[in-house]
Structures are given as C-alpha cells and as structure tokens.
Structure 1
Amino acid sequence: MHSYDELLKKIYGVVFLYAIAYPKIRINVLDKNDSPPSFRDTPIEYTVSEDLSAGQAVATLRATDPDTLGTLTYTLVSTEGGDESRFELDANTGVLRLKQALDREERDTYRLVVRASDGIQNTDADVTIKKLNEN
C-alpha cells in the first residue's frame, strides 16, 4: 500500500519537505469545589461592652475555604430566643453588628448560628455573645 505522498513523488517528481513542530501547550487544572469552608475556632465566643450601641460592630467572623475558587458569604441562620432583630451580619465581610443595644438586665448571653458558604458547600458555627457588666 502506498501513501498519497509517495504516489505524487513517483508521478510528478515532487519532493515534500517535512517540518516537525513541537508546540508548547499549557493545561491549567482548576480546583474542584469539594471542600466546605471552616471557621478557625468553634464554638466562637465574644465578650462585648455594655456600652455598645446600635450599628456598632460586635465581631468579625472569619472562615477559610481550602478550595481556591471559593468566595465566601456569611448568613445569620438563627438566634436563640428569636433575637434576629438585635443583630445583622454583613454577607461579604462577616462583620456582626448590633441592630439595637443589648440590655444586660434583660439578658447577658446571646447565642447565634452563623453560616459560611462558598456557593456549594456550607458550614455552621455556634457564636456566643456575652455582655460584660461594667457597673
């Protein structure tokens, strides 16, 4: 069996010059989003001053994600005793703020559940806020 190139050489006397090229190929392997984010230390506890007023930051919650493509968002999942109206959580920064001042005489400890999500995987952390009595 003859190839087409050999047939052309015989009939027309054509000579083919072959060049061999080795192109450089880069393959980027993307990280699969297969690991959930995690909070460094759980459970998380903060002690805050009795003087904090509405709008002030109580804490900054931080989680990490071993997956390189994960962008974390934070959500206040629940509060003990239905205290959602007392706290707000910035979804992008994890800053926990007071919506209204905390009353130590009413209650000295608040328990929250905060979620960190990378869009696919989630992890929850128990957060305790203790009010320091400064009197």
Structure 2
Amino acid sequence: MKEIVLIIGGIYGTLAVVFGAFGAHALKKRFSEDQLKSFETGVKYQMYHAIMLIISGIVFPFIGVSQQLIAWFFIIGIFLFSFSIYGLTLSASAGKKIKILGPITPLGGLLLILGWIFFTINIAEIASYL
C-alpha cells in the first residue's frame, strides 16, 4: 500500500503541474475569470493533497484500517473534488455544462476532510510513541 500511495501522490502532483500550466496558458483565453479561478482551485487542492499523500506514504506503514482509510480518502477525494471541477469548468466553457458533476465536488471535499481527520488522529498516535 505504501508504494501505491507514493506513486499516486507523485502522479497527482505531476498532473497538478501539467493542469496548472494548461490552465495558465491554454485556457486563459477560453475561460471566464470565474472559470479560471475554479480551475485553479482544483489544481491547488490537487497539489496540496498530492503532497499529503506523499507525506502519508513516508510516515505511515498502512498496517491498520485507519491508516489505509487516510490513503483512500485522499486518493478518491482528490479525484472527485479536483477532476469534477475540471470537468465542470471545461464543459461550461464549451457551453455544455455537465451538471451531474456539481454534487460530486462536495463529496470529494468531504473525503478530503475525512482524510485530514484520520491523518490527525493517526499522526497523534505515532507522535506519542516518539
């Protein structure tokens, strides 16, 4: 599990840089100011949580269910949150907004929050042994 978390963290981080550059250059002329800000929010949250995945992969052995949930909450949460924002903004700029993606974004956000809660609980347990 540790290797998977680190690899996915690296992939998400790489994609955040690619999407950030794509948004800053290719989409700047195509998007409205609000769409660009939303797209940038997706990129920022993706990068922040890619870093958290890598930190989690370094810190935790992922031997317990609680630690495994951290990884899955972040992995799925990033995908649902950031990628739904990308889909919403890209489809809206084409005049065909995919409305089903709207409710997916807060679900991704909830998973990210749960990831942080589980991270905090687990890191506190590990810190007590040091």
The structure whose residues are more often helix, as a share, is 2
Give TM-score, length-normalised by structure 1: 0.26
Give TM-score, length-normalised by structure 2: 0.27
Structure showing greater Rg? 1
